[in-house]
Structure formats: C-alpha cells, structure tokens
Amino acid sequence: MHVKLALIATAVALSAATAAIAGSPEWSIFAEPFITNAHAQAIDWQKVDDTLGRKPAVSGDVRRYGFPRSDLNVTLDGVTIKPSLALGGWVAFKPAHGGAMVMGDLVLLETEITPVMTKLVQGGLEITAVHNHLLRANPATFYMHVGGHGDPLKMATALHDALAASKTPLTAAPASPPPAIDLDTAQLDQIIGVKGQNNGGVYAFAVPRRDPVNEAGMEIAPVGPMGVAQGINFQPTGSGKAAITGDFALTGDEVNPVIKALLAGGIEVTAVHSHMLDEQPRLFFLHFWANDDAAKLAKGIRGALDKTASGKS
C-alpha cells in the first residue's frame, strides 16, 4: 500500500512506518523510523477497538482487525467459499512516528466499490489497488487495498464509515471454536514446510520470504499480519480434496517461474498484480485456485515456493 507523504518541516506529523499485503503505502524519507514502546503504548487502542466494533488479533506491535464477508454466499466451481478462504477483509494498524500507519484489504461487491472508495478518500485514506482475486465466482468479489498514516482513531472512524457504505457486517460475530479440518494436516505441514493453522475451518499457511521487505527504510513486520508472506489456504471439500487459494508475494523475476510451476501442478493462476505502491524489493502478488487432492495440490504449491526466496523449516 502506498500513502504519499510530502516532506515538510513538521517531521513529527509526517514520518511514517511500514506498510504491507496485502498493501504498502509510499512514505517519504523520515528521520526517526523506529518507535519507542512508550509511544506505542500512548495510543488509546480501546477507542480504536470500540470504533471498529471488534477486538484485534495482536502480533508484535501490529493489531489486525478482521472484517469477513460472512453476509455473502459466494460459490466457485461448485464450492461454497468460506469467509476465511477468500472473503476475509482486514485492516492492520502499526504504531508509527506521529501516530500509526494503517493498511488493509477490503472485500467488496462491484456495486460497493465506488461508495466505499469515496468514503475512504473523504476520510483521508488512500487507495492502492482495486482488483479481482478469483475468477468465475458468483457473485463476483473485488478487493480494495487501502493505506494511511496519522491519528489511529481518525483512521478507524474513516474505515468504519467507509465499510458502512457496503453490507460488510460491522458487528463482530461471537467467537466460537473453528470446525475441524477434514484433511491430513500433518502431511500438508510436511509438504509445505511450515505449520498451518485452523482459520475458521480453513487450513492456512503463511510462508515468510527469507529477505525482508522494507518501506522507507523500515522492515515490514510481522510479515503475516502485514500481508507480505506467501498466503496459502486449504478448504476441505471432501474425500481428501481441498479448494485452495491465496497469494504469492513475488519479485519480478519470480513471477513467471511460479506461474509455470503452478500450472504444472494443476493449479490455475487467477490474477497477477500489485498490492502496494512503493516497497523494496518491488513485489507482485499472484493469486491461484484449484480443487483437487489436497496432498497433490500441496506438492504443486511446494514446487512453486521452491521458485521463490521463501523459507522452509
């Protein structure tokens, strides 16, 4: 994601922190990139939680709020897509000099794009991408990446008002144990090379890149919540099969080797595009889809991961 900040004398107001995946803002050069614990603790996060109407998942100094499109019944090739497979909108806040930076990926219907975009822009946030992740889905869904820097409560208010222009549920559903994963998850862990997690009945992997991704001299971390890990999701579809989707975060020279590896593994490439506007190294995000034997697909994904600078534990 990319928030363009002009260099002005009041560096306190305009210095910025990292940005991410699922998007990354463009920041001007700033003098004090690292944030003290005292500064981070000075933010009244309870007010942000109250404004957004939910509690975040906290990882390091990043607070990530989920906005799944649980209101939608989206099907693709006969598969009813769980929100955590491909409909999990989110926004993440990271303390930054002068307040916080925010980035996110909102899941929208076609008719919701302009009303939500208008509210975001009016609220001082920036749009860094609008695009598809899936093909043939019914109804079609689109993904709007956003970014901003400043007062976290003001940005939370702008995000709430923008989402209110869509039918995104603004009241968080009560927490409940996720349904069991009807797959050999130990086998999937072994093939992919990292341990997955049960995310709402979807078995989800976040495979980090070996080299850091930076924004204006600051490392984008943690990579999973900030959207710059290889995200791979398996939704069981019965008899050992799974529908898979997600995205690879790739440098330019990795894009076509990964495409070839996925196609060789029987996995469809559904989109290649940017999520951010100014990150180093430059990244492209490749989305995919398949519904087949889970172990077979995991091997196809592993073959694609081997074409990237991604770690395998």
CA distance 102 to 17: 9
More confident residue, 90 or 35: 90
CA distance 127 to 148: 9
How does pLDDT run across 148-175, given as a tens digit for each residue? 889 999 999 999 999 999 999 999 988 8
Question: Residue range 24-38: average pLDDT?
Answer: 34
pLDDT at 97: 80
| Per-residue confidence band for 42, with pLDDT thresholds at 50, 70 and 90 | confident
How does pLDDT run across 240-287, given as a tens digit for each residue? 999 999 999 999 999 999 999 999 999 999 999 999 888 889 999 999
pLDDT at 14: 31
Which stretches of the chain are assigned E, i.e. beta strand? Answer: 57-59, 62-68, 75-76, 79-80, 88-96, 99-109, 126-131, 141-150, 197-199, 202-207, 214-215, 218-219, 230-238, 241-250, 268-273, 284-293
How does pLDDT run across 188-197, given as a tens digit for each residue? 999 999 999 9
Residue 250 β-bridge partners: 284
pLDDT at 101: 84
Residue 145 β-bridge partners: 105, 129
pLDDT at 126: 93
Contact 17, 33 (CB under 8 A): yes
Q: Which two tokens stand for residue 303?
A: 């073959």
Contact 1, 276 (CB under 8 A): yes
Q: Among residues of the chain, what percentage have pLDDT more than 70?
A: 85
pLDDT at 35: 44
Mean pLDDT of the chain, nearest integer: 86
pLDDT at 103: 86
